[in-house]
Structures are given as C-alpha cells and as structure tokens.
Amino acid sequence: MPFEAIAETLLKGGIAPRHVYRYIRELTDHLEDGIAQQKSAGFGDEDARIRARALLGDDRELTAAMLEQTRFRSWPARLPWLVFVIAPFFILTVCLLALLVPIFAIGDGAQHIYNATGIAPDFLRPLSWVLLTGLNLLALPLLALGLGALAHRQRLNPLWPVAGIVMLLPLFLHVSMAFGDPALHKSGSLHVTVAPPFTAHFAQVFADQAPVLIGQGLLTLMVIAYLLRRRTA
C-alpha cells in the first residue's frame, strides 16, 4: 500500500483507522491524477511519479496536517482507561446475558420446541448445558482477544487490554440457569454471578463451578500471554 508509513504514523498518533484509511485512499487518488497530469505534460513514467509525489507534500507535512486534527482521534486513543478497563465489565455482562437468554430458551422451552419441530428434549436440554458451559469458558478469553485486536488495529499499547482483562479475571464472572418445571409450578431462572476471592460465597461458587472457572482462567491467561508476547515481538 502506498503511503503505508504515513498510515502507521497516523495510527500510532491515535487517529481513528477509518479517518486514516480514507485519507490514504484520497492521497492515492490524488497521486494518480498528479501522475496523469505530469505524463500529459510530457514526462516519462518515473519522472511523472517523482514529480507528482513531490507536489503532494513530504511525509512529514502529510502526517502533521492530519495529526493537527485532534477531533479525528479515536475514543480508545483518547480514553484508553475507559475503553479497555471500565467498559469491558459492562460489555461482558451484557454479552453474557444476551447469549444466555437463547441458550436458556432452548433448554427451558425444550417441550415447546419438540412440539413444533420434533427435536427431542433429551437432546435440547443437554445441548443447552453444553452451550452454557461453552459460554462461561469462552466469553472472557474471546473478549480479551477482541480487546487485543482493537488495540492492535489502533496501534495502542497492548498493556491496556491486558490491564482490563487482569481486572476482570479475579471476578470469576459467569452465568448459570435453572430450568422450570411446569408440573411443580416452578419457573426457570437465570443468574449472573460475580465471585471474587474476597467474598463470602466465593468458596461455594468455586466448588460448584471449579472446572469451568479454572478453564476460563487458563484460556484467558493464554490470551494475555499472547498479547504480551506481541508487545515484545
């Protein structure tokens, strides 16, 4: 990509990627027009390219002009502590709940689904538990990967997403559910549990969910190690 060095400088300067790539695209279009004009003025291919590129301005001018526009800075660049440390807790909670609802519906509504589709409740309820386990295992590591990708896209220090995830890890945030039983007039329930080690219910929660919470922790630590390795690479 032409102007790649300019793009990197702007991304590292905190300019939002969509503004950077739009700028680069228009500079590329402009360069093409400049080359065409130089050729029509009688210059050969190489000379036309050199002259057109010189008229465009040097890399320092082109980056300075954009970096002066502080309103084009991205939110992660302006407020990394908000995006990578505060917001992830709320994002994780909302995502867990949003995904938990359909997972719960598959199990709790197994009889209704069977009546409509013929799929046996003996398949649907275990499927629901498997999906719940997967959600608890993978939500935090996937969030960590997503935050790492966001930081990389904007050339931000990966220590920011690592800091956010390190703060989330000891919360042992997870979701659970209980199916209802119409025969007993018992309705189903959904729970979001936060159980940091210093709380009274941590021991019980950990005893009940040890394999999932340990798995969640290990996967998340692997992502953190990957992000830290990228930083030093």
Residues forming contacts to other proteins in the complex (CB under 8 A) are 19, 22-23, 26-27, 29-30, 32-34, 55-58, 61-62, 65-66, 68-69, 71-72
Beta carbon nearer to other proteins, 65 or 82: 65
How long, in residues, is the chain?
233
How many angstroms separate the Cα of 1 from the Cα of each of 12, 56, 121, 154, 158?
A: 17, 16, 55, 17, 25
Beta carbon nearer to other proteins, 19 or 49: 19
Beta carbon nearer to other proteins, 66 or 205: 66
Beta carbon nearer to other proteins, 60 or 112: 60
CB of 22 to other proteins, least distance (A): 7
H runs (alpha helix) in 82-201: 87-108, 110-117, 121-153, 159-168
Beta carbon nearer to other proteins, 60 or 230: 60
Beta carbon nearer to other proteins, 56 or 178: 56
CB of 64 to other proteins, least distance (A): 8
CA–CA distance, 132 with 111 (Å, rounded to integer)? 19
CB of 47 to other proteins, least distance (A): 17
CA–CA distance, 156 with 154 (Å, rounded to integer)? 5
- Tokens encoding 81: 């502590």
Calculate the CA dihedral of residues 6, 8, 11, 13 and round it to 10 degrees.
Answer: -70
CB of 43 to other proteins, least distance (A): 17
CB of 150 to other proteins, least distance (A): 22
- Tokens encoding 41: 């003025």
Task: Print burial letters for 142-163: b (CB count within 10 Å at least 16), e (below 16).
Answer: bbbbebbebbeebbbebebbbb
CB of 13 to other proteins, least distance (A): 12
Calculate the CA dihedral of residues 209, 212, 218, 221 and round it to 10 degrees.
Answer: -90
